[in-house]
Amino acid sequence: MVMAFVVGIILFHVFIAHGLHVGVYETDNEDSDIFQPATHLKVISSFDSPNCSEPVCTGPLSNIYCSGKILHASWLFGLQRSCPGDMMRNSPAFILKEFSKLKYPLKRDEFKAFCFENFASVPYLKYAELDDWSESPPNVVLLKDTKFWKFVNELNQIWKNLGREFIPKVHELPHLFPIVPVLNRFVVPGGFFQIYFYWDSYWIMKGLLFSNMKSTVLGMLENFASIIDRHGFIPNSGAIQLSRRSQPPLFTQMVADYISVVENKTTLSRMVTYVERELMWWQLNRNVSVKSASGETYLMYQYRV
């Protein structure tokens, strides 16, 4: 349990460090202790494998971006901000084969050369203009309280800075990027978090609907529907390091919030299919039985890896 927690913290930092690479990072705090260990090793004598009961991610990229010797070396050498990079220059199998040719004790310069040959710093996100943004949406105009109006108006201005979309190359070569791509533009939480997040998007959509940005919300719903179609559920985030980690299944409420404003039965009919598929996934993969003090047993959903 302790080891799993430690690994989780490390991978969270891996994700944050990786978030610096998307090309739209909004802070100059590059000397943060999160990214800069007190010392960098020059030589690694062996690989220490953490004992985890559940893999953080699965698939061809898992032994590069989520666990394994490359990630281990990257952190010990202090190269986690650039290796593994935003995009692979070669296939996962080729990269792992090339790394296997390196011998322990592993020198930092040798590993750095390997990283340069196999990874590229290609920002996979870019700013996106949100076409339905308005300087004075109706709900803001109707506010009478001056102080409250000023606060809400300033919040409305923030949307312009948080629109994102994946670069065309992501859609052309998705197998080379450590992400779960989506087609439509979306709004990110900001700061360290420069990709879409499930839980955050629930609250973001509420704000967007208040700002009358219905088109942006529909695009985000369609993004999540496409993820359900491909993966069965919506993960914590679009970053592969969090692609197996579940968060509360809020897609149902997202759809309900949107329909309550738009009242479009065609969209509702289309989205209900994905609502049902996601809840079925939870019923099959994340259900737990909980016994109450009175002896009654309840079936509940548990969000976890």
Lowest mean pLDDT among 7-16, 100-109, 216-225, 281-290: 7-16
Q: What is the pLDDT of residue 56?
A: 85
Tell me the per-residue pLDDT of 52-67, one tens digit each, with 9 for 90 and over: 677 889 999 999 999 9
Spatial CB neighbours of 64, under 8 Å, sequence gap ≥ 6: 70, 71, 84, 88, 92, 95, 96, 178
Both tokens assigned to 142: 């109707």
Is residue 183 a contact partner of residue 220, using CB atoms and an 8 Å limit?
no
Average pLDDT value over all residues in the chain = 87
Q: What is the pLDDT of residue 41?
A: 79
pLDDT category at 24 given cuts 50, 70, 90 is low
Alpha carbon dihedral 184, 162, 230, 88, in 10-degree steps, equals: 100
Determine the straight-line distance between the first and last CA of the chain, rounded to whole angstroms. Answer: 13
Tell me the per-residue pLDDT of 139-185, one tens digit each, with 9 for 90 and over: 999 999 999 999 999 999 999 999 999 999 999 999 999 999 999 99
Cα angle: 29, vertex 32, 35; to 5 degrees: 115
Both tokens assigned to 278: 């996601």
Ordered by start, the domain boundaries in the chain are 2-120, 125-278
Is residue 219 a contact partner of residue 259, using CB atoms and an 8 Å limit?
no
pLDDT category at 34 given cuts 50, 70, 90 is very low
Q: pLDDT > 90: what percent of the chain?
A: 72
Tell me the per-residue pLDDT of 103-116, one tens digit each, with 9 for 90 and over: 999 999 999 999 99
